[in-house]
Structure 1
Amino acid sequence: MTSPHTHNLPTSPRHRLRKEPSTGQTRGLARRAKALGGFVIAAMVAGAIIPLATGADSATAADEVVLTASDSAWTTTRQPTVPQSGLLSATATSDRTYLKFDGDALAGRQVTAATLVVKVNSTTATAPGVVAYPTSASWKSTSLTHDNQPGPTGSAASQPSATAVKGQTLRIPLDVRSVATTGDFALALNYSQRYIQLRMERFNSDAPRIEVSTAPVSTTPTPAPSPTTPAETPADGPLVFAHYFVPYPLSIDNKTESSDYYTRNYLSPDGESSKFASVGGLLRDRPISPGVSTSTTWRVDNFATEVRQAKSAGIDGFTLNLMSSSGQNWDASVNVMKAAAQVGGFAVVPMVDGSSSFSSNTPETAASLLSQLYQVGSAYKEDGEYVLSSFKAEGASVSWWTQVINLLETKYGLPISFQAVFNNASDANLKAYAPIADGFGNWGTRTERTTLNSADNVARAHALGKTWMAPVAVQDVRYRSLSWAEANNTASVRAQWSKAISQKADYVQLVTWNDYSESTQIAPSQDHGSAFLDLTRYYTSWFHTGSQPAITSDAIVLTHRTQFVDAKPSYSQSLMGAPALDGTSTAARDSVEALVWLPSAATVQITVGGTTTSFSAPAGVSAYTVPLKLGTVSAKIVRSGATAESLTSPHQVVSTPYVQDLQYYAASSW
């Protein structure tokens, strides 16, 4: 019997369909069922709908312990040598809150869940933003200042999950490893949304606290996985991978945001000795800074943070772009895999970049390097075979790939399944690589028009007995080459998801997680916040289960540019021409889009530059656009005369930008 997540394909010599055991037909589906923000997924077992257990449901035997902060403080760059008093404050860069707790009450217990609880006094936040980091507990509030504050001692203990609202309690789920069970421990908080401030109560009944669920410490040791055996990796079924581009990690040099490598060299037009001055600088966006860490493992810690961010959106793993065989990029590749193994439940597929120096190695060197990666526990295996993939498979010859695969299998004893992803998935390329590949994919298109008019690539691959990895990208703007595609806000990415779901692709590759040089990133960033990740979360759920998620609460994602397409920047630079990256003539447009999720019909109001436009919207997911104007962008969902949800973009639209920036900015009410 074919499993719910296995397509009935012809079997090729190098492709075996993934079969579920007869007693576990719903294994892949149940593993992926999640409660996701404004929509809830239920697992289908033996024809019945069974709601997933919540954390509270699974903790019936657990003891609940509340730890109230034993000391609290905040620091600010505005008074770098002065201890601060009064309400606690957190911002993206200037203000940081410090909380200290006594873990002795947890002695002899195992922490199974932990939630930080703070009371919001005031805020201008419009998007989720609290991020907590473990830090040293050696400080005192009477002497702590910006200049002597400790840095993070590990990766983030939380991710932005809820928007702060004045007068309300904010609950932030924590990584249980950040809670010590003996002695003092501390957390540092910032708010990742730029240009806003979060003020929190500090004393008495509203003092910050951590609600901890505990259980007796197990006396049964957990065996460590074998170095050559993958740790927990995704179950069988349609999987979602995000393409990880190693040159752009959370931090390059472990410095503060105001003076780190991104700020000095990538975002500044004059950075890297004016190397990219003619195009206004290399990048326009960057990852949200994790701050300065005192840990010697800060690189791996930061990659672990990104793994957790991806997992929170239902992403099953990274396809890891292999560009170099030594140096910083190679070290980053190894560390990404180590971080994924450390976090667990997240797979990594080595993806040789056919346009890079890695594919210029001899097959012997390439196989040796790949064999090292396959020793890491996060390396993804399917049907007992390690998965190898490519960016631009046609960049290396069939002979080169054949030798690499044969060496991995014969010299290193690593059975390989090859997923060949092309820049040009032509009939000729598919035919040429069919003898060595188990599956195909392509880098994809970047406009709604080309997506809707493209061939049924899933059917093409299945006809050859191969799987298909469908590409999904939010946008594509390349300042270095002055080339771009018009994504029509989220119309293009929604069309790509729709096609992957309706055609039943075997995999989706999100192009990309973090290639800021092509503006394709969906990772949490300064210019998008978590908006594109929130959008991804909805569609990964749909793709995994095959059923459109039920909508149980209102949500808004706003997208817009911060300048008109024909705006002239004040910095002297070369400008983009018409959007033609996709080889089409899709016209540029200046528009604001509100993408809304509604459990019932409502009125959607979009206000741009003081002008409000209203739309009657049915229940479900729908998008509404209005012309771009100067000033502030906001949207509301109104039902029965009352505002059910509202969102103000933190990004202003200006007439004269400093540099040209044609990417879509985004904000989310999730």
Structure 2
Amino acid sequence: MFSQGRAALAVLVALVCAIPLGAAQASAQSAPVSVVVQPANDVFISQIAPTTIYSTAEWLSVCVKTCNDATNAERRTLTGFTVAGIPKNATNVTMTLQVQSTRTTDTTVAAHKVTGTWSETTTSWNNKPTFGAALSTHTGFTANTAAGFDVSDAYTGNGAYSFGLTASSGPVAVLYSTRTTGKGPSLKITYTPGTATPTPTPSATPSATPSATPTATPTTTPPAGSSQCLPFDKPSAATLRSYDKKVFAFYFPPYPLSVDNKDPSKDQYATWLDPAGSNGMYAAQGGHSRDRPLTRPVRSGNWRQADFEVEIRQAIAMGLDGFIYEHHTSASDQRFNHIADLLAAAKAVDPGFRIMLSPDFPTTKDASPDKPIADLLLAKGHPSVYHLPDGTIPLAPFYPERQSPAWWDNLRAKLAEQGMKTSLVPIFLDWSGSGKTEWNNSVVGYSSWGVRWESSTDGYRKAGIESQKRGRFYMAPAALEDVRPRDKRYWEPSNSNTLRQSFVKAMEGDADIVSLLTWNDYAESWLAPSVERGYAPADVIAYYTTWFKTGKAPSVARDALYYFHRSHRTDAPFDKTKQTIGPIAIPYGDAATNNVELLAFVKSAGTLVVKQGTDVQTKEVTAPGMVSFKVPMVPGTTPVFELKRDGKTVQTVTSKTPIEKSVVYQDLINHAGGGVPCSRPL
């Protein structure tokens, strides 16, 4: 039978702590008593994968026989409890099986008494126990809201109880398991003690370790060192991963921490930043790009894996769950050929950090899928590859609509023949919740590349709502900005607003995952720690990642001042004899703004100050929290940012980026800086 220890301990603690007057006093007064028992085991089983054991899945699935329009694809959930300490002479005993759904569906689910031996680590569809007649049913589940099943008819006194859930109609119901802290199933028992109820004693309860019982609220103990780099106490990586919400960053292989392992003053990035570099290929626009990763000295040994390890540590410090890696191999560009080094780095740094695969693919109509299949099989079986709760490996290709849903179905079928079971999460070029219905039977979730201006981020909220209506999860995009000097284009991000609003709209739409776009595409959009921005975007992302996962904005524990602004106004004169491509301009979206932003995290009331030469602007802050304070740019100055309390300056940050009156080449990226001085991964 399944393990009884942790659930027995849980009910004993509940009995001791939940009865206000103590067991003996409550019994004497015959007041109703309620205790909540945590499960000893829970797992789901799948008819379409009859030998698969989902013991590490973070969710529990319940679905009809025609689940996702397949045949013989039923999913059932099993959950087991050990009840101890209920008085023998208790009366009016009721038992309610409580579950919490991850999304809103109109599914009808029945609860059954289960008999037979099973455990979460050994049970699959083929060796499932016996499901008895339905004890009760429930129709309609609301995201993050508990639903109850009356299973009182199964009560026979203290002992082991197993229940199974089956679906008779509606889309797949996805419930939290005990592997999502504090949200898994539970068994609520309510009874009236008899007149001579004995007080339960510890000797009647098998021993168990305290850590085996999930707590209602994940701990927020900050990890050693890294938390002090942030204006709030970030929960540990393990705690953040215990939540069902996930945050990944899209990793673009052409722009790793170092391309060639050369001295930073003369490496490939230095060439790209130099208008005369690359044999003058980008002279007309002032260079290939405007920023680069933080620099490091020349390494020996396997420097590529060492670089990946640094970036993984940076990502973990931001609260990220992993990278979405654009994966393919190339005969002409070796930068794409290092999936093995990345996976090895993830395993070496933190086995919990995962790599989601984003396969590149041929775009010619009905092209053979053999090349992407061969590339994907390179990652088969590696423990650092990300899996969904149903055990499948999600594929998240960029712009997948260049092939049909049937093409992707065929690719996945061929991978399954090779023993690699996958699912599809398309990152459409553009999708805000309308259209693409022809993809629904081929995907488990939806996503898009998104936008890079603030006013359109509400599309993320709409897309999240629509994904739920279709019975699929949603991966919302988030980005700081998009600046492409090579293509003469940029979009207006309103300083840090687009990044912050992307998270807000993802939360309003109840997105399941946030995809940061991108970690490192220095030719367009990047969020990794960099020379021109330091760790400012990373720290803001850490704040919003914690908020997204926990559902609550973190409390500010340390004052911190960050800034975001350009090095010149968007209409500043540039040298047309050097920048011969013409102006870098906004093709569509929000109009240009020319502000300096102070993004302040304050632990108590104070005065924010932005100084640009003789121009001094102030803002009173009356409560602790995060505050955005924007003022118009003043060319010919270097902004200085201050926090004052009681007339005294308690913190000062001077921008590293002067605001020029005119420039040789346009530089339309947001430079950034500030934060809490501390030791960083690089």
Distance change in 2, residues 1:602/1:564 (3 Å):
same
Separation (CA, whole Å) in 2 of partners of 1:608 and 1:27: 53
The one of 592, 598, 601 aligned to 1:594: 598
Unaligned runs of 5+ in 1: 29-43, 56-114, 116-157, 164-230
Which residue of the partner structure matches residue 492 of structure 2?
486
Separation (CA, whole Å) in 2 of partners of 1:529 and 1:545: 26
Q: Does structure 1 residue 313 correspond to structure 2 residue 470?
A: no
The one of 34, 48, 52 aligned to 2:221: 52
**Is this contact kept in 1: 2:359–2:396, CA < 8 A?**
yes
Which residue of the partner structure matches residue 241 of structure 1?
248
Task: Write out per-residue CA displacement over residues 167-195 of structure 1, whole angstroms, 9 at most, x where no aligned residue.
Answer: xxxxxxxxxxxxxxxxxxxxxxxxxxxxx
**Is this contact kept in 2: 1:246–1:333, CA < 8 A?**
no
AA in 2 matched with 1:52: T
Q: Within 5 Å, which residues of 2 pair with 1:475-624?
A: 475-518=481-524, 520-570=525-575, 571-580=578-587, 583-584=588-589, 586-619=590-623, 620-624=625-629
The one of 667, 671, 676 aligned to 1:661: 667
**How much has 1:251 moved relative to structure 2?**
0.7
Which residue of the partner structure matches residue 648 of structure 1?
654
Separation (CA, whole Å) in 1 of partners of 2:229 and 2:220: 22
Q: Does structure 1 residue 25 correspond to structure 2 residue 194?
A: no
Separation (CA, whole Å) in 2 of partners of 1:371 and 1:422: 23
Task: Write out per-residue CA displacement over residues 431-458 of structure 1, whole angstroms, 9 at most, x where no aligned residue.
Answer: 1211110000111111111124666111
**Is this contact kept in 2: 1:386–1:415, CA < 8 A?**
yes
- Aligned pair count reads 479
Task: Write out per-residue CA displacement over residues 200-228 of structure 1, whole angstroms, 9 at most, x where no aligned residue.
Answer: xxxxxxxxxxxxxxxxxxxxxxxxxxxxx
Separation (CA, whole Å) in 2 of partners of 1:461 and 1:245: 26
Distance change in 2, residues 1:418/1:10 (3 Å):
farther
Which residue of the partner structure matches residue 633 of structure 2?
628
**How much has 1:655 moved relative to structure 2?**
2.3
**How much has 1:430 moved relative to structure 2?**
2.4
Which residue of the partner structure matches residue 189 of structure 1?
none
The one of 351, 356, 367 aligned to 2:358: 351
Distance change in 2, residues 1:23/1:341 (3 Å):
closer
**How much has 1:47 moved relative to structure 2?**
4.5
Task: Write out per-residue CA displacement over residues 295-339 of structure 1, whole angstroms, 9 at most, x where no aligned residue.
Answer: 2x0011101100110000001110112354444133133322222
The one of 285, 288, 299 aligned to 1:282: 288
**How much has 1:54 moved relative to structure 2?**
6.2
Q: TM-score, normalised by structure 1?
A: 0.66
Greater Rg over alpha carbons, structure? 2
**Is this contact kept in 1: 2:596–2:632, CA < 8 A?**
yes
AA in 2 matched with 1:649: S
Segment of structure 1 superposing worse, 392-401 or 430-439: 392-401
Which residue of the partner structure matches residue 300 of structure 2?
294
Which residue of the partner structure matches residue 54 of structure 2?
none
Which residue of the partner structure matches residue 95 of structure 1?
none
Which residue of the partner structure matches residue 392 of structure 1?
399
**How much has 1:568 moved relative to structure 2?**
2.9
**How much has 1:404 moved relative to structure 2?**
1.1
**Is this contact kept in 1: 2:433–2:463, CA < 8 A?**
no
Q: Indicate the SS of the match to 2:514.
A: strand
Distance change in 2, residues 1:375/1:45 (3 Å):
closer
**Is this contact kept in 2: 1:358–1:366, CA < 8 A?**
no
Distance change in 2, residues 1:429/1:370 (3 Å):
farther
Segment of structure 1 superposing worse, 424-433 or 281-290: 424-433
**Is this contact kept in 2: 1:512–1:521, CA < 8 A?**
yes
**Is this contact kept in 2: 1:323–1:358, CA < 8 A?**
no
Q: Indicate the SS of the match to 2:306.
A: helix
Distance change in 2, residues 1:15/1:661 (3 Å):
farther
Q: Does structure 1 residue 406 correspond to structure 2 residue 502?
A: no
AA in 2 matched with 1:238: K
Q: Percent identity?
A: 30
Separation (CA, whole Å) in 2 of partners of 1:558 and 1:350: 34
AA in 1 matched with 2:593: R
Task: Write out per-residue CA displacement over residues 53-74 of structure 1, whole angstroms, 9 at most, x where no aligned residue.
Answer: 765xxxxxxxxxxxxxxxxxxx
**How much has 1:3 moved relative to structure 2?**
6.9
**Is this contact kept in 1: 2:326–2:360, CA < 8 A?**
yes
Q: TM-score, normalised by structure 2?
A: 0.65
AA in 2 matched with 1:666: A
**How much has 1:257 moved relative to structure 2?**
1.0
**C-alpha RMSD of matched pairs (Å):** 3.2
Distance change in 2, residues 1:427/1:552 (3 Å):
closer
**Is this contact kept in 1: 2:292–2:522, CA < 8 A?**
yes
The one of 359, 369, 375 aligned to 2:375: 369
Q: Within 5 Å, which residues of 2 pair with 1:419-498?
A: 419-425=425-431, 430-452=436-458, 456-498=462-504
Separation (CA, whole Å) in 1 of partners of 2:364 and 2:550: 36
Task: Write out per-residue CA displacement over residues 240-298 of structure 1, whole angstroms, 9 at most, x where no aligned residue.
Answer: 0001011101111111111111112x111222222222222111100011210122x00
Separation (CA, whole Å) in 1 of partners of 2:369 and 2:178: 38
AA in 2 matched with 1:508: V
AA in 2 matched with 1:258: S
The one of 257, 260, 270 aligned to 1:263: 270
**Is this contact kept in 1: 2:240–2:319, CA < 8 A?**
no
AA in 2 matched with 1:613: Q
Q: Indicate the SS of the match to 1:379.
A: coil
Unaligned runs of 5+ in 2: 1-96, 108-168, 186-212, 232-237, 677-682
Distance change in 2, residues 1:236/1:623 (3 Å):
closer
Distance change in 2, residues 1:328/1:650 (3 Å):
same
The one of 312, 332, 346 aligned to 2:338: 332
Which residue of the partner structure matches residue 102 of structure 1?
none
Task: Write out per-residue CA displacement over residues 528-547 of structure 1, whole angstroms, 9 at most, x where no aligned residue.
Answer: 00100011010000011111
Q: Indicate the SS of the match to 1:556.
A: strand
AA in 1 matched with 2:354: A
Q: Indicate the SS of the match to 1:552.
A: coil
Separation (CA, whole Å) in 1 of partners of 2:434 and 2:551: 32
The one of 303, 306, 310 aligned to 2:308: 303
Q: Within 5 Å, which residues of 2 pair with 1:26-41?
A: none
Distance change in 2, residues 1:280/1:9 (3 Å):
farther
Q: Indicate the SS of the match to 1:321.
A: strand
Separation (CA, whole Å) in 2 of partners of 1:22 and 1:426: 31
**How much has 1:516 moved relative to structure 2?**
0.6
Distance change in 2, residues 1:22/1:500 (3 Å):
closer
**Is this contact kept in 2: 1:486–1:588, CA < 8 A?**
yes
AA in 2 matched with 1:487: P
Q: Indicate the SS of the match to 1:527.
A: coil
**How much has 1:361 moved relative to structure 2?**
6.4
**How much has 1:514 moved relative to structure 2?**
0.6
Separation (CA, whole Å) in 2 of partners of 1:659 and 1:5: 53
**Is this contact kept in 2: 1:575–1:660, CA < 8 A?**
no
Separation (CA, whole Å) in 2 of partners of 1:320 and 1:420: 14
**How much has 1:460 moved relative to structure 2?**
0.6
**Is this contact kept in 2: 1:2–1:19, CA < 8 A?**
no
Separation (CA, whole Å) in 1 of partners of 2:288 and 2:326: 20
AA in 2 matched with 1:552: A
Separation (CA, whole Å) in 2 of partners of 1:48 and 1:368: 43
**Is this contact kept in 1: 2:428–2:447, CA < 8 A?**
yes
**How much has 1:417 moved relative to structure 2?**
2.0
Distance change in 2, residues 1:594/1:267 (3 Å):
same
**Is this contact kept in 1: 2:181–2:216, CA < 8 A?**
no
